[in-house]
Amino acid sequence: MRALSTLLTAGLLTLSGILAPADAATATDVWKVPGDATITIKGHGYGHGHGMSQYGAEGAAREGLTYTQIAEFYYPGTTWGTGKGRVTVLISADTTDDLIVEPRSGLTVRDTAGGERVALPDNGASRWKVDIGKDGVNRVSFRTQKWHRWKVLKGDGEFYAAGDPITLVTPGGERAYRGRLRAVTSSGSRVTVNDLSLESYLKGVVPLEIPASWSPEAVRAQAVAARTYAAYERKHPQSSAYQLCDTTSCQVYGGYSAEYDASNRAVDATARRILLSGGEPAFTQFASSSGGWTSAGSVSYLPAKKDPYDGWSGNPVHTWSQKVDDGLIERTWPSVGNLTKIAVTSRDGNGDWGGRVRSITLTGSAGRAVVSGDTFRSMLALRSTWVTFKVG
């Protein structure tokens, strides 16, 4: 439609069925900035806006929608399927080259180059460790008053406790994980990887992505979205050593230590249920709040659509405001000099003010800076790109 519109005159745009392009600039999208101004940025939503709004899921649940209805609203055109198996997750908190765990009953170690699991003895050790010695040999050691070598490995080392949680020791503290903890080499560095079932993984994800105390149907919708997202990422792994990360770059995962009974029940109630597109796991992105409109993602089942559920009274980020001084913008984009004008030159066309910002031009005494909406949001730590301005 944008390509077609460039061939039409302004008069033709009034014909039935022909719309002005969504990213057309308007006079209301330009703000003059006097010296030492305070700029109020008003916005809607929190996050990229693709797929499910988590606040929207809660609003929908409060209106009586089931988790299947919530999922189908936010991911239209997908179908239901089954996801199972295991996932491997990078544990980003373990920044050291070794893998250290606390002793517990049933703890075993396995050489990934082959061999059976070997039970670790109850010898008074306060820690067990897998690392590489100065001689380049993988080894298992235990600590009493000092570290003692216990076993040499041909491959990498993996701790396991027959499905019971294992407490990992990291520079930032201790955290328990289900499944197996493995020390592996990735891109020349030693990293810790958690290998566990998809369902166990979800129990450490869901309560960190949505409050476990929210309506059960909303938490179940989150479980479906997170399970599907993990199944998708498993097919598009982060590296040869692991499939997923444990941060917002994938989805937040905190292991057994993050689990809550209510969110565990949501995982169990939706066991193995995922959304499919073309027979494959869908790319089920989600964000905190849509602000009243979801934004179009990279696939057909992530459309821009009006979201009637996001604006319930308990959503503090459906509409928000943030004040900044012009000096912050000048320091962030010093090439403009003294800021004199803000112009939004492109929006997505959905909702208040013409929708989310795609492009913005900052003009000052020394020049101009053309910035994408995503970059503007990131550099100023805004909740979303769906913003407008008031200069005073």
DSSP code per residue over 31-78: EE--TT-EEEEEEE-BS---SEEHHHHHHHHHTT--HHHHHHHHSTT-
Q: Is residue 155 part of a domain?
A: yes
Parallel/antiparallel/unpaired status of strands 79-82 and 273-277: antiparallel
Could you give the angle at the alpha carbon of 152 between the alpha carbons of 158 and 145, nearest 5°?
85
Q: In the listed set 165, 180, 198, which residue is the last one of a domain according to the structure?
A: 198
The model's confidence at residue 23, banded by pLDDT at 50, 70 and 90, is low
- The pTM of this model reads 0.90
Q: In the listed set 165, 198, 231, which residue is the last one of a domain according to the structure?
A: 198
The model's confidence at residue 168, banded by pLDDT at 50, 70 and 90, is very high
| CA-to-CA dists, residue 352 to 171, 343, 355, angstroms | 46, 17, 6
Number of domains in the chain: 2
The model's confidence at residue 26, banded by pLDDT at 50, 70 and 90, is low
Residues 95, 186, single domain; the answer is yes
Residues 20, 91, single domain; the answer is no
Which range marks the domain in which residue 34 is found? 15-45+318-391
Which candidate, 310, 315, 303, 321, places its Cα nearest to that of 386? Answer: 321
Q: Is residue 262 part of a domain?
A: no
| pLDDT on residue 27 | 54
The model's confidence at residue 6, banded by pLDDT at 50, 70 and 90, is very low
Q: Is residue 291 part of a domain?
A: no
Contact between 389 and 40 under an 8 Å Cβ cutoff? The reply is yes
| pLDDT on residue 188 | 83
Share of the chain above pLDDT 70, in %: 93
What is the average pLDDT value for the chain, to the nearest integer? Answer: 92
Residues 332, 385, single domain; the answer is yes
Q: Is residue 336 part of a domain?
A: yes
| pLDDT on residue 15 | 28
Number of neighbours of residue 118 by Cβ within 10 angstroms: 13
The model's confidence at residue 186, banded by pLDDT at 50, 70 and 90, is confident
Q: In the listed set 175, 198, 221, which residue is the last one of a domain according to the structure?
A: 198
Residues 21, 108, single domain; the answer is no
Q: Is residue 1 part of a domain?
A: no
Residues 384, 326, single domain; the answer is yes
Does the structure show a pLDDT above 70 at 19?
no
Q: Is residue 145 part of a domain?
A: yes
Residues 35, 92, single domain; the answer is no
Does the structure show a pLDDT above 50 at 2?
no
